[in-house]
Amino acid sequence: MAEEFLDAWENGDLERASLLTTDPEAALAALVEYRDRVHVDSLDVTPGIANGEHVPFDIDVHVAVDEIEASWAYSSALDVQNISTGGERVTWKPEILHPDLANRDDVVLEAVKTATPLSIIDRNGAVLDAQDDTSFARILQQLQERYASKLGEPSLEIRLVPPAGGSQKKGSTVARLSMGQPTRLKTTFDAALQRAAEDVVADRPGASAVVIQPSSGEVLAVASPSTSEMSPALEGVEAPGSVFEIVTAAALLDSEAVSATASVACPASAAVAGTTFENAKLPMATTGRTMADLLASSCDTGFAALSERLSNSALADTAKEVFGLGLNWQTGIRTADGAVPEVAGADKAAAAIGRGEVRLNVLNLASVTATVKTGAFKQPLVVDESLIGSDRARAERSLTSDIASELGDMMHRNATFGTGASTMQGLTGDIGSMAGLATQGSGQGAHAWFTAYSNDLAVAAVAPATGRGVDDAGEVVRAILEAHH
């Protein structure tokens, strides 16, 4: 009887095999599930020497899952008994299929393809790793989850998993049938800059920073608080305050509402559509009164007043069409891509100074700075574009050469004579910056924002303000720039 059962099972006649057991219905269901979920292509069963009614056997299963084929050999056993209605029968027990199923009705066997862990490397080939409790570790894990199955050869395992509808990921491994070939995932990160960014952010609770290479749009470093489940630098958004005036200046120049050298005021307060706006408490380092001076001094009142010269769609249009804000960025990891709504009146004035409904993160701000540096939006990337599976977001138009030059001059003035001067002091080459404070609502402290470019590097940072103006974020940016020099 034992050999008849094993022969029927080996030949794929599962209905006959089940009829040779004490519980044909349960046996047939289990045999079919084993065949289908283990992906049995064929099997060879060799009976051993019987010990009374106890019959051991060896089984060699040929498993085929998609393009992967492997053999799985193990030993099991069955018992034969006489029943009054039909003579000898195999005593049906799930562990006939595999010993690990003994006394288990909560799991089944399944062949599972598993992605082979990637070796994630930086732009120069250095292996990237991180402590478990850092935001960068979660970015690396996200890269593993996204790309391990796309690259290299997967492994094949037999697992004990919950019945149909359960999660394979929770199953325990019974056997590893084939080892996949590990491969590398090259990223745009720079290991040295990443360490520098993480070190400086770690010393400033709540701070975040992003570094971009303007010429390519490639992200060189990302650092966020380790206590966050997601990366605020990439996925969080908040009102950025005065640093958004880079985009506002571009909109004003683009619409020819004002020139960079036109005489404009920076009053102590400005009333727009019944709402009064005041400046953040920052030192006014410049004494002139042109739009370049407004940007140098992070003058909120001046830009709020100038917003009345813009159409209701001008800010939103410039933000999206030139700087790529609000497009669907395909960076290679999860990101929030900024939001600049079309608004009117006092809401437009608030948007012009980065308040109200404007929402950015430091990735968005670093990209804005990189766009000013090169004159054209290059959507940030963390892996090669060919791996992403979607087209890279592209802005509708570039800055004109004149406007790009004027914005660069304005940011250079901020870095040399304005609110960014103390942070940027001593740095040489092609430099520019913008700084500001952003209020976070009633009862909440302000956030300091700072962004700068130095040659082919654009850095943005945000940090909780501690009464030191923009220095809380400026020191983060400065430390990263110095690490690169």
Closest C-alpha among 188, 194, 230 to residue 213: 188
Please identify, among 161, 186, 211, the residue that sits at the C-terminal boundary of a domain.
186
By mean pLDDT, which of 158-172, 240-254, 374-388, 456-470 is the weakest? 158-172
Domain shared by 284 and 432, yes or no: yes
Give the residue-averaged pLDDT of 458-470.
Answer: 84
Give the span between the Cα atoms of 417 and 49, in whole angstroms. 93
pLDDT band at 94, cuts 50/70/90? Answer: very high
How many CB atoms are closer than 10 A to CB 429?
10
DSSP letter at 40 equals E
Decide the pairing of beta strands 208-213 and 218-223.
Answer: antiparallel
CA 296 to chain centre: 33
Give the span between the Cα atoms of 1 and 17, in whole angstroms. 10
Closest C-alpha among 327, 435, 303, 441 to residue 391: 327
Give the span between the Cα atoms of 80 and 91, in whole angstroms. 6
Give the span between the Cα atoms of 275 and 307, in whole angstroms. 13
**pLDDT for position 150:** 83
**pLDDT for position 71:** 96
Domain shared by 376 and 262, yes or no: yes
**pLDDT for position 55:** 95
Place of tokens 């402590």: 131
Domain that holds residue 30: 2-105
Give the residue-averaged pLDDT of 341-363.
Answer: 95
**pLDDT for position 288:** 57
Please identify, among 186, 218, 242, the residue that sits at the C-terminal boundary of a domain.
186
Q: Tell me: the pLDDT tens digits for 4-53?
A: 999 999 999 999 999 999 999 999 999 999 999 999 999 999 999 999 99
Residue 110 lies in a domain: no
Question: Between 54 and 153, where is the model more confident?
Answer: 54
Domain shared by 178 and 239, yes or no: no
Residue 72 lies in a domain: yes
How many CB atoms are closer than 10 A to CB 132?
8
Domain shared by 197 and 169, yes or no: no
Give the span between the Cα atoms of 462 and 222, in whole angstroms. 12
SS3 89: strand
SS3 461: strand
Give the span between the Cα atoms of 270 and 290, in whole angstroms. 16
Give the residue-averaged pLDDT of 426-444.
Answer: 84
Give the residue-averaged pLDDT of 168-175.
Answer: 76
**pLDDT for position 285:** 45
Q: Where are the beta strands (DSSP E) in 215-279?
A: 218-223, 269-272, 275-278
Give the span between the Cα atoms of 354 and 241, in whole angstroms. 4
Closest C-alpha among 366, 355, 373, 375 to residue 329: 366
Domain count, the chain: 3
User: The domain spanning residue 77 has which CATH number?
Assistant: 3.10.450.100
Domain shared by 338 and 449, yes or no: yes
pLDDT band at 323, cuts 50/70/90? Answer: very high
Domain shared by 172 and 44, yes or no: no
Domain shared by 198 and 234, yes or no: yes
Are 472 and 464 contacting, i.e. CB atoms less than 8 angstroms apart?
yes
Are 383 and 187 contacting, i.e. CB atoms less than 8 angstroms apart?
yes
* Count of alpha carbons within 13 angstroms of residue 444, beta-carbon side: 12
Are 403 and 323 contacting, i.e. CB atoms less than 8 angstroms apart?
no
User: The domain spanning residue 247 has which CATH number?
Assistant: 3.40.710.10
Question: Between 152 and 369, where is the model more confident?
Answer: 369
Place of tokens 């430099």: 431
Give the span between the Cα atoms of 114 and 214, in whole angstroms. 37
CA 107 to chain centre: 34
DSSP letter at 90 equals E
Q: What is the DSSP string of 92-105?
A: --GGGT-GGGTT-S
Say which amino acid occupies 5. F
Domain shared by 214 and 68, yes or no: no
Domain shared by 379 and 252, yes or no: yes
**pLDDT for position 166:** 52
Residue 111 lies in a domain: no
Residue 312 lies in a domain: yes
Give the span between the Cα atoms of 110 and 239, in whole angstroms. 50
Residue 25 lies in a domain: yes
Give the span between the Cα atoms of 37 and 59, in whole angstroms. 17
SS3 15: helix
Domain shared by 28 and 133, yes or no: no
Give the residue-averaged pLDDT of 119-133.
Answer: 84
Cα distances from 378 to residues 327, 331, 359, 484, in angstroms, run 12, 11, 20, 21
The mean pLDDT value of the chain amounts to 91
Cα distances from 241 to residues 340, 356, 357, 449, in angstroms, run 13, 9, 11, 8
Residue 327 lies in a domain: yes
Give the span between the Cα atoms of 4 and 10, in whole angstroms. 10
Domain shared by 379 and 452, yes or no: yes
Closest C-alpha among 413, 410, 415 to residue 426: 415
Residue 77 pairs in a beta bridge with 56
By mean pLDDT, which of 104-113, 251-260, 283-292, 446-455 is the weakest? 283-292
Are 238 and 436 contacting, i.e. CB atoms less than 8 angstroms apart?
no
Q: Tell me: the pLDDT tens digits for 64-87?
A: 998 889 999 999 999 999 887 778
- Is the per-residue pLDDT at 305 higher than 90? yes
DSSP letter at 179 equals P
Give the span between the Cα atoms of 394 and 33, in whole angstroms. 49
Alpha helices in 38-71 (DSSP H): none
- Supply the Cα-derived Rg of the chain in whole angstroms: 32
- Is the per-residue pLDDT at 232 higher than 50? yes
- Is the per-residue pLDDT at 287 higher than 60? no
Q: Tell me: the pLDDT tens digits for 374-418?
A: 999 999 999 999 999 888 999 999 999 999 999 999 999 999 999
**pLDDT for position 389:** 83
**pLDDT for position 165:** 58
Residue 113 lies in a domain: no
Place of tokens 């993160």: 361
Give the span between the Cα atoms of 27 and 99, in whole angstroms. 15
Domain shared by 236 and 333, yes or no: yes
Residue 114 lies in a domain: no
